[in-house]
């Protein structure tokens, strides 16, 4: 996002108190969408400034400068720190949020202001962009969330449109936001669905990116653009073809393998043995959409049979009742299932 270079100052001068010889503090907004945090016409800063007429608050680019007495600067700083934390968790700032933090600032211990929490916070996986609230919508999606909380390795198997990938990405993003892991690694096999990679234009990355587009779409819903760019540039979030996982040991990471029905037996074994001692993994796939050539056996189908009795691994089956796309998708899946039988 483009930052404005114009300096904006919001303050009121009291006739009984001079603003000279006041101390100053600078707060830098890193990895934050400025328009989402500051609000239209810097409404967030205006609200805070109105509550502290003896101080001066200047917003310039991604910096907020506070000039005032030490006690007031401390309170303003606590409010802004809490608003930043609130934004990082919920993805947005409302006028009501600002007023709530201002009213609580005089009653709290510095730096320990409790954020106003929505009443159904326990059911929410991620507060995303533009007010998007991501939560498990069906019983089996909820089982997937519960299984991921209790197990280090989870298989989520079901037809298209059941929210497997989206829910798995949300679980991983929540773990990253809660500092339960240090990174997210998302991978999928680059297997053609009736098309040939060699005929696609561009270099290897440009050929592979369309296969990873569903992952990018999910992340775009859940993480602000600036922060997502920071995460990907610093390899906190990695999205790569499955072949790039060979030889790695993945520690303190949340690992997602998507479209796992298109892995071979060797690829699946390779992926499963990448897990470090502090890693968690979710494997998603659809048995009805295997695109492997020459009737090659799916690594997903084989691994579910081989690993079903190992403690610490959970298996969640999703079905037509979990479809969250257009209502016709559910009917289409049911019709194909009947035809297959």
Q: Where are the domains of the chain?
A: 8-105, 123-340
Side-by-side strand order, sheet with 280-285: 237-241, 183-188, 253-257, 280-285, 153-157, 313-317
What local confidence, expressed as pLDDT, does residue 114 receive?
A: 54
Instruction: Please list the alpha-helical segments (H only) found in 127-203.
Output: 139-150, 164-177
Report the distance separating Cα 249 and Cα 232, nearest Å. Answer: 19
Q: Does domain 123-340 correspond to CATH entry 3.40.50.300?
A: yes
Question: What's the pLDDT tens digit per position in 177-226?
Answer: 888 999 999 998 876 544 445 555 565 566 667 777 888 888 988 888 88
Written as six digits, the tokens of 76 are: 């303003």
Cβ neighbours around 172 below 10 Å, total: 30
CATH 3.30.1370.10 fits 8-105, yes or no: yes
Q: Are 138 and 272 in contact (CB under 8 A)?
A: no
Count, in order, helices (H) and strands (E) of the chain: 11, 12
Whether 327 has a pLDDT exceeding 80, the answer reads: no
Range in 91-95, 100-104, 192-196, 267-271 the model is least confident about:
192-196
User: Is 263 in contact with 287 (CB distance < 8 Å)?
Assistant: no
Task: Output the pLDDT for position 156.
Answer: 95
């Amino acid at each position: 996002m483009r930052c404005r270079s114009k300096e904006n100052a919001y303050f009121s001068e009291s006739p009984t108190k001079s603003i000279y010889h006041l101390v100053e503090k600078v707060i830098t907004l890193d990895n934050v969408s400025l328009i989402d945090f500051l609000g239209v016409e810097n409404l967030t800063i205006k609200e805070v400034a109105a509550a502290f007429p003896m101080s001066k608050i200047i917003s310039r680019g991604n910096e907020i400068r506070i000039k005032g007495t030490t006690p007031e600067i401390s309170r303003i700083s606590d409010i802004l720190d809490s608003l930043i934390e609130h934004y990082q968790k919920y993805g947005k700032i409302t006028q009501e949020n600002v007023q709530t933090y201002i009213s609580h600032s005089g009653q709290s211990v510095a730096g320990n202001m409790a954020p106003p929490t929505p009443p159904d916070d326990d059911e929410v996986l991620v507060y995303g962009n533009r007010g998007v609230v991501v939560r498990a919508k069906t019983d089996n999606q909820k089982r997937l969330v519960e299984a991921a909380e209790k197990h280090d390795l989870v298989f989520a198997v079901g037809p298209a449109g059941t929210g497997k990938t989206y829910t798995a990405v949300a679980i991983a993003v929540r773990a990253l936001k809660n500092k339960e892991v240090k990174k997210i690694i998302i991978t999928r096999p680059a297997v053609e669905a009736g098309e040939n990679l060699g005929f696609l234009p561009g270099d290897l990355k440009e050929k592979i990116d369309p296969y990873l587009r569903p992952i990018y779409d999910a992340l775009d819903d859940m993480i602000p653009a600036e922060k997502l760019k920071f995460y990907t540039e610093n390899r906190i979030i990695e999205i790569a073809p499955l072949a790039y996982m060979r030889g790695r040991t993945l520690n303190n990471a949340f690992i997602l393998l998507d479209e796992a029905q298109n892995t071979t037996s060797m690829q699946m074994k390779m992926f499963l043995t990448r897990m470090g001692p502090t890693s968690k993994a979710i494997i998603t796939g659809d048995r009805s959409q295997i695109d492997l050539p020459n009737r090659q056996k799916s690594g997903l189908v084989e691994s579910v049979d081989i690993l079903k009795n190992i403690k610490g691994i959970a298996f969640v089956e999703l079905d037509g009742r979990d479809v969250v796309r257009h209502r016709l998708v559910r009917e289409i899946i049911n019709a194909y299932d009947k035809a297959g039988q």
